């Protein structure tokens, strides 16, 4: 069944839907994206319009479809070692933490990093490569979360097109990745030993965080706040700061800023902040 292009009224309903579900403020320039990403679902159900699909999402009987719609509207492409300066700082902070822990009461406490909007997994695996390299046998943990169950499945699979890995140091590629051959040529698989060090879970940053998340030395919250309005951004960062250890660091995207959070965070360099002790 053919359905017409998405109307402004229909688009406005999906803007409200994704704000209510994920706290994401979707600008009017995203109308084509919404139309394109949801068109197949409208066709799948044989519906005459986007409005009919919106009614299906809000009738309370299609919870799996609601999650799928959220997945389709929130997924972003990423790659390994994006914004390399952050990984240089991660290395420095991990080394200094290990040195400070030696002989102290927290000698056996793991160095913990949270990738809080991990998308398809390139960021947490990049973090894990650095920690495996600099901390060796010392205890460390990486938690990775996203609102989208679909990208979390891709992240757990850890199988990527080789072009996503152009920024991975050659040494890391050799040590932590398996190069695809024959029908898998042009792809890489993150090594199982590294995959086992990263735990993935679904977390909606726009709601109360799970009680068992624990606290972290570093949180990566990159390239997600550009989708939040001022109020939502402050609420999300406030929640995350409750999970950041005193003296811990928060990494955000280079196009983002937390100037308005100066009462609770100290800038280290642009896009990296420290929680006072």
- Residue 91, pLDDT score: 97
What is the mean pLDDT, run by run of 10 residues, along the chain of 277 residues?
76 93 85 89 93 93 88 81 95 89 70 96 98 91 94 95 94 95 92 96 94 96 87 93 96 87 88 94
* Strand ranges inside 119-223, DSSP E: 140-146, 159-161, 177-179, 187-190, 198-202, 216-221
Question: Under 8 Å CB-to-CB from 191, ≥6 apart: which residues?
Answer: 175, 176, 177, 178
- pLDDT value at residue 138: 87
78 neighbors 119 (Cβ within 8 angstroms): yes
pLDDT for the residue 107: 62
In the chain, ranges of CATH 3.40.50.150 domains? 84-274
Please give the pLDDT value at position 191.
Answer: 97
Choose, from 71, 112, 146, 217, the residue flagged as catalytic: 146
CA–CA gap between residue 51 and residue 145 (Å, rounded): 31
- CATH number for 8-74 (one of 1.20.120.80, 1.10.510.10, 3.40.50.2000, 1.10.155.10): it is 1.10.155.10
User: What is the CATH code for 84-274?
Assistant: 3.40.50.150
What is the C-alpha separation between 173 and 190, in angstroms, rounded?
9
Positive or negative, the Cα torsion across 203, 209, 214, 215?
A: positive
Residues of the chain with CATH 1.10.155.10: 8-74
Q: Does residue 37 carry a catalytic annotation?
A: yes
Residue whose C-alpha is closest to residue 122's, from 93, 87, 82, 150: 82
For residue 72, give every residue at least 6 positions away whose Cβ sits within 8 Å of its Cβ, in sequence order, or none: 37, 38, 41, 150
Which of these is catalytic: 13, 16, 28, 37?
37
**Catalytic status, residue 51:** no
């Amino acid at each position: 069944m053919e359905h017409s292009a998405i109307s402004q009224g229909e688009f406005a309903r999906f803007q409200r839907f994704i704000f209510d579900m994920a706290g994401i403020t979707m600008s009017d320039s995203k109308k084509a994206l919404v139309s394109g990403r949801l068109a197949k679902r409208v066709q799948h159900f044989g519906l005459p319009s986007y409005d009919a699909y919106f009614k299906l999402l809000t009738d309370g009987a299609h919870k799996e479809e609601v999650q799928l719609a959220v997945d389709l509207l929130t997924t972003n492409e990423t790659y390994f070692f994006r914004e390399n300066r952050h990984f240089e700082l991660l290395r420095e902070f991990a080394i200094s933490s290990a040195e400070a822990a030696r002989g102290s009461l927290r000698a056996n406490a793991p160095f913990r990093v949270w990738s809080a909007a991990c998308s398809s997994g390139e960021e947490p695996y990049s973090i894990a490569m650095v920690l495996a390299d600099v901390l060796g046998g010392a205890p460390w943990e990486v938690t990775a979360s996203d609102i989208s169950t679909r990208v979390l499945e891709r992240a757990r699979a850890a199988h990527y097109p080789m072009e996503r890995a152009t920024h991975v140091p050659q040494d890391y590629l050799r040590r932590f990745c398996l190069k695809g051959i024959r029908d898998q040529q042009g792809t890489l698989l993150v090594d199982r030993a590294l995959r086992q060090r990263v735990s993935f879970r679904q977390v909606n940053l726009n709601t109360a965080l799970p009680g068992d998340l624990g606290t972290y030395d570093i949180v990566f919250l990159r390239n997600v706040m550009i989708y939040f309005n001022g109020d939502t951004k402050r609420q999300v960062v406030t929640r995350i700061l409750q999970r950041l250890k005193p003296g811990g660091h928060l990494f955000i995207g280079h196009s983002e800023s937390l100037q308005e959070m100066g009462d609770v965070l100290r800038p280290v360099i642009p896009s990296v902040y420290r929680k006072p002790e």
